[in-house]
Structures are given as structure tokens and as C-alpha cells.
């Protein structure tokens, strides 16, 4: 587990959440907030986060939508412990289970094996084996480097969804073809939301939302522009109004048929 001097106390949603994160390990940032904002959960519904880390995405979602039944699966025990601490210190319910997604379903913890969820969300590792330079910190490397194929993340998420439930994921834009191929095995009603840093720039990230057993049309949403202007302007962050509302106020990010309301008929 992490010692106190190995942690920072970080604010999310304009300081509404206070989250402990390792100084040198994997640290959640804006991607976790955008992922949580895109999950169209309603009070009383159940949500599972695969690879929850220190719990940032789940806690951002819980802060926006009261009355959720939330669970997180995390491979690394130290991060699972942090997620529990962060849930407690923010007064939000989050059941954190330690387990290896790659071993699912046979070795899935009993706490999750018999359950299905209305929503599953995930921020899988972005870097494929051999890409770039390995992180010096083992926990950071584990969180960022793909060991379990992206298709297995999708399959695990779909297995844990109830029929008609929604899977929401954030990933690098260049991984979108593989993600769509994996979703073809049991999901539909897919919406892709590109995240672009500025107008005229290619999308670096995508949020993908799909329904288990869905049969609706594929939708490519208009990009979410994260920053205003053509270039960075001084010391301020230059976030667009829409991005700022999500990052600072916990606003929802409505991206498709499942966005901002109850699940639609298949």
C-alpha cells in the first residue's frame, strides 16, 4: 500500500471531490472525468467500472448521479485500497473488488460473478505492448500498458451487462477500429464521440457507447472541442464552455441514444 508521503490530495469537479493519488504512479486526469460524464446512469441503477484505479471515474459519476449502486474491479491491490479510501472520504458508496479482468469469467471474484449491471464503463490502457518507453513506476506501467487485449475488455464488459445495458469506454482514437470490431460481437446502437483538442485538430480520444444486444444505427457524433481558440493563450486552461462544465461542475456529456435519459427500446 502507499505511504502518506507517496500521495497527493487532488481536486476534481471544481474541488467537489478530493482524491488521493500516488505522486509517482498512475494518476487519473480529464479522461476519467469525461468517461464518467458520458455514462447515462439514473438513480437506482447499477454501474461497474472495469479497471477503476483510485476510483476517480466512479466517484465523478457518483457525485453527479445520486443513489447509484456502484462497483469497481481493480487489478492492483494498492490502487483498490486507494479507491476505497477515496470513496469513504467523499461519502460515496463504491464497492471495490480486487481481480484480474484477464481471468474472467472463470476466476471472477464471487462478489461480481453472479451480478449484472445497467452500465459498465472502462478506460482501458492506451499503449500497446512495445509502444514507447516503459514507465519507471510499475503501477503506472501496468495501468497504461496493454496486457489484456482491448477485445477482452469489451467482452468482459458485455458479460457483466444485463440485456439492453450500456457499455461506455474511452480510448485513443487510433484504437477505434479494433474497438468497433470487438463491439460487433454482441453490441449495437453504437455512438462514437470524438474528443478534439481544438477546432481543426484531429481527435486524439474517442468515447464509445454501445448497447448490449442493441440494433440501432451507428452514430458518429459531432466532436467535443476541449479548448477554445487556435492555440494556447497564456496561463489559463482555455477550456471550451462545454468541457469546462463537465470538468468543473460535473455536467453530463450527452452523446447518443442512451445519453441523459432512460435506456431506449432496442
Tell me the per-residue pLDDT of 234-264, one tens digit each, with 9 for 90 and over. 556 789 999 999 999 999 998 865 443 333 3
SS3 68: coil
Q: Please check whether residue 263 lies inside any domain of the structure.
A: no
Residue 38 burial (10 A CB sphere; 0-12, 13-18, 19+)? buried
**Distances, alpha carbon 165 to alpha carbons 186, 215, 231, in Å:** 11, 13, 40
What is the model's pLDDT at position 107?
Answer: 55
Q: Say how many domains are in the chain.
A: 1
Residue 195 lies in a domain: yes
State how far the Cα of 110 lies from the Cα of 188, in Å rounded to an integer.
29
Read off the pLDDT band of 265 (50, 70, 90): very low
Q: Is residue 135 part of a domain?
A: yes
Percent of the chain predicted with pLDDT > 90: 73
The answer as to whether 259 is a domain residue is: no
CA distance 50 to 99: 10
Average pLDDT over residues 75-86: 96
The full 3-state SS of 21-49, as one line of letters, equals EECCCCCCCHHHHHHHHHCCCCCCCEEEE
| Contact assessment for residue 47 and residue 117, using Cβ atoms and an 8 Å cutoff | yes
pTM (whole model) above 0.75: yes
Domain membership flag for residue 20: no
83 grid coordinates? 479507491
Classify residue 198: in a domain, yes or no. Answer: yes
User: Is residue 43 situated within a structural domain?
Assistant: yes
pLDDT tens sequence across 35-61:
999 999 999 999 999 999 999 999 999
CATH number of the domain bearing residue 144 = 3.40.50.150
Q: How far apart are CA 164 and CA 141, in angstroms?
A: 34
- Residue 177, in any domain of the structure: yes
Phi, psi of 126 (to 5 degrees): -90, -30
pLDDT value, residue 264: 38
Domain that holds residue 100: 30-245
Amino acid at each position: 500500500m502507499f505511504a502518506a508521503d507517496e500521495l497527493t490530495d487532488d481536486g476534481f469537479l471544481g474541488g467537489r471531490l478530493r482524491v488521493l493519488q500516488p505522486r509517482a504512479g498512475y494518476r487519473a486526469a480529464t479522461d476519467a472525468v469525461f468517461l464518467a460524464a458520458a455514462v447515462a446512469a439514473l438513480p437506482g441503477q447499477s454501474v461497474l467500472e472495469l479497471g477503476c484505479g483510485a476510483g476517480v471515474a466512479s466517484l465523478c459519476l457518483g457525485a453527479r448521479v445520486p443513489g447509484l449502486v456502484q462497483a469497481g474491479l481493480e487489478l492492483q491491490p494498492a490502487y483498490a485500497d486507494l479507491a476505497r479510501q477515496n470513496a469513504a472520504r467523499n461519502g460515496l458508496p463504491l464497492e471495490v473488488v480486487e481481480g484480474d479482468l484477464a481471468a474472467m469469467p472463470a476466476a471472477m471474484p464471487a462478489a461480481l460473478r453472479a451480478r449484472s449491471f445497467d452500465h459498465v464503463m472502462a478506460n482501458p490502457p492506451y499503449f500497446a505492448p512495445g509502444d514507447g518507453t516503459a514507465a519507471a513506476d510499475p503501477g503506472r506501467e501496468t495501468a497504461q500498458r496493454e496486457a489484456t487485449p482491448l477485445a477482452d475488455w469489451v467482452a468482459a464488459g458485455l458479460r457483466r451487462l444485463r440485456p439492453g445495458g450500456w457499455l461506455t469506454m474511452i480510448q485513443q482514437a487510433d484504437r477505434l477500429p479494433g474497438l468497433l470490431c470487438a463491439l460487433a460481437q454482441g453490441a449495437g446502437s453504437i455512438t462514437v464521440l470524438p474528443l478534439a483538442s481544438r477546432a481543426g485538430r484531429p481527435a486524439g480520444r474517442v468515447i464509445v457507447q454501445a448497447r448490449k444486444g442493441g440494433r440501432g444505427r451507428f452514430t458518429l457524433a459531432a466532436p467535443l472541442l476541449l479548448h477554445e481558440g487556435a492555440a494556447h493563450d497564456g496561463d489559463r486552461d482555455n477550456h471550451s464552455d462545454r468541457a469546462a462544465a463537465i470538468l468543473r461542475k460535473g455536467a453530463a456529456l450527452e452523446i447518443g441514444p442512451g445519453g441523459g435519459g432512460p435506456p431506449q427500446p432496442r
